[in-house]
Amino acid sequence: MKIGIVCYPTFGGSGVVATELGMALAKKGHEIHFITYSQPVRLNPLTGNIYYHEVQVSDYPLFDYTPYELVLTSKLVDVAKYEGLDLVHAHYAIPHASAAYMAKQILASEGIHLPFITTLHGTDITLVGRDASFAPVITFAINQSDAVTAVSEDLRKDTLTHFKVNREIEVIPNFISLERYGKSDFNALRKIHAPNGERILMHISNFRPVKRVEDVVKIFAQVRKHMPAKLILVGDGPERNRIEALCRTLGTCHDTKFLGKIKSTETVLGIADLFLLPSKTESFGLAALEAMTSGVPVISTNTGGLPEVNVDGVTGFLSDVGDVKSMANNAMKILESEETHRVFKQNALNQAHKFDINRILPQYEHLYDEVMATASV
Ligand code: GMT
């Protein structure tokens, strides 16, 4: 099949999922065309069957705001026509689903049928999408998609609650390529970051307010009062300065390291003893799944789709948003005994296997087949 993938090419989970999906499909023999404004961070362009089409946005002096959606639409039409795409898979509704809809209409006027699938990832529904300035377009694009998927049951329900959706939404959870994990020996790296055998707590995110990174720092400050520990923060974003200031106030700077953005998180997760994800909302929590795949238990909130990934009392613990005390206590419960830590680590790994890409990929392929079959009727 020839599939066009539209996604955000950045470090965000939706772009990562879209890229990993495209690369796995390419490996299975599908021809995959990424249509984005820059090379997706996780994309290996040398992979066979992978093509990259850059959406070039020019700045006209007339425009205060460059109409990216129109440029993307034109690019989609161009790629669909000249590469002979069978379908488009739009990851993240805004503005990808509506651009795909418009491209579909333009192509239809030329007698070409291009179905499109929309995958909802979270903030397109839970935060941005609900804004009155986007909601009518999102609702329309969802209803006009040839198929719609959500990355968790919670996101599916949330979408149906907040938008007037008159169609089915299928849940296809996010996934993990297990083959990328368990390849390195992390002992040397661990020694660098925790030279005296300290426990390592880790957080990975884009440091947006929704991630509540300040709670990560507060949890760590509590844990460190009870045991020698280090905090490693991976990623970067708007909250970074505030977080550094909080570390200074709490006196935890000497035991905290900011690593910045890292392309392949499996290269660092292996040194962690515990992963912290105290988000305000999280439709799935791909970072938590990546941690679990490295055998790292997760302390998270119980919001959104997180309970579908992190099993309370088994792979880690879940607490209410903002309940720093509970999250710190739960962290200590896991870390205080070697035996308890070992059991949680093993459980986390076992749970991660349920999201093996080899189990999830066929669900997408099946959906593509269904959409194509309906399209050709
Ligand atoms: O979490 C973010 O800030 C990035 C965002 C995105 O759109 O890339 O992540 C969303 O999609 C991920 C992949 O499906 C999910 O794992 C994240 O939970 C979801 N983020 C939120 O719901 C806040």
Q: Is 152 near ligand 1, meaning CB less than 6 Å away?
A: no
Edge-first strand listing for the sheet containing 170-171: 50-54, 31-36, 2-6, 87-91, 116-120, 147-150, 170-171
pLDDT of residue 45: 86
Element (H, E) at 53: strand 50-54
Residues 6+ apart with CB under 8 A from 269: 202, 204, 275, 290, 291, 293, 294, 296
Q: Is 317 near ligand 1, meaning CB less than 6 Å away?
A: no
The domains spanning 2-175+357-375 and 178-353 adopt the same CATH topology: yes
Q: How far is the CA of 238 from the centre of ligand 1 (A)?
A: 16
Give the mutation target among 10, 14, 289, 303 for probing the ligand 1 site: most ligand atoms within 8 A of CB: 14
Tens-level pLDDT at each residue, the chain (377 residues): 999 999 999 888 999 999 999 999 999 999 999 999 999 999 988 889 999 999 998 888 888 888 999 999 999 999 999 999 999 999 999 899 999 999 999 999 999 999 999 999 988 887 776 777 888 999 999 999 999 999 999 999 999 999 999 999 999 999 999 988 988 889 999 999 999 999 999 999 999 999 999 999 999 999 999 999 999 999 999 999 999 999 999 999 999 999 999 999 999 999 999 999 999 999 999 999 999 999 999 999 999 999 999 999 999 999 999 999 999 999 999 999 999 999 999 999 999 999 999 999 999 999 999 999 986 55
Q: Which atom of ligand 1 is nearest to the CA of 289?
A: 16
Edge-first strand listing for the sheet containing 298-301: 256-260, 229-234, 199-204, 274-277, 298-301, 316-319
Question: What SS3 class is residue 261?
Answer: coil
pLDDT of residue 208: 95
Measured between alpha carbons, how far is 268 from 270 in angstroms, rounded to an integer? Answer: 5
Residue of minimum CA distance from atom 21 in ligand 1: 282
Give the mutation target among 21, 123, 281 for probing the ligand 1 site: most ligand atoms within 8 A of CB: 123
Residue of minimum CA distance from atom 7 in ligand 1: 14
Q: How far is the CA of 83 from the centre of ligand 1 (A)?
A: 30
Q: How far is the CA of 35 from the centre of ligand 1 (A)?
A: 20
- Count CB atoms within 10 A of the CB of residue 143: 14
Domain boundaries, the chain: 2-175+357-375, 178-353
Measured between alpha carbons, how far is 282 from 215 in angstroms, rounded to an integer? Answer: 15
Residues 6+ apart with CB under 8 A from 56: 37, 71
Two structure tokens written together for 343: 């059991």
Q: How far is the CA of 14 from the centre of ligand 1 (A)?
A: 6
82 burial type by CB count under 10 A (0-12 exposed, 13-18 middle, 19+ buried)? exposed
Half-sphere exposure of 214 (CA within 13 A, CB side): 13
Measured between alpha carbons, how far is 287 from 284 in angstroms, rounded to an integer? Answer: 9
Q: How far is the CA of 290 from the centre of ligand 1 (A)?
A: 13
Q: Which CATH number fits domain 178-353: 3.40.50.980, 3.40.50.2000, 1.25.40.10, 3.40.50.2300?
A: 3.40.50.2000
Q: How far is the CA of 79 from the centre of ligand 1 (A)?
A: 27
Please give the CATH number for the structural domain made up of 2-175+357-375.
3.40.50.2000
